[in-house]
Amino acid sequence: MTPQQIIRIDAKELTALEVRCKCGSTMTLPLQRNLRERLSCVGCNTQLWSGEMEQDKTYFTVLGLIRSLSLWNDLDQKQFSLGFSLPAIKG
């Protein structure tokens, strides 16, 4: 069995989400309770989501994730931490 490096991340350490377009451009969204209704890529101008009025599932999914992480960061949880683990990328 090959040893594997694991990166562990506590959700309280997250301050923003990164959106990476298929063209390679990256946008950083701070963990705030609100999310821009429409977002287009800064590199290729592709519309990534169109907002609440359009009933865009991508928008609602990202909004839910941002609100959940933001709320978790506001809690004063001392009994346990919430996070996830990722395999380290060898490069």
- Tally the C-alpha atoms within 13 A of residue 15's C-alpha that lie toward its C-beta: 0
| Rounded alpha-carbon distances, angstroms, from residue 3 to 87, 90, 91 | 11, 12, 16
**Domains of the chain by residue range:** 17-76
Query: CA 43 to CA 19: how far, in whole Å?
Result: 12
Query: CA 35 to CA 63: how far, in whole Å?
Result: 6
Q: pLDDT tens for residues 10-69?
A: 888 888 999 999 999 999 998 887 888 899 999 999 999 998 888 999 999 999 999 888
> What is the pTM assigned to this prediction?
0.75
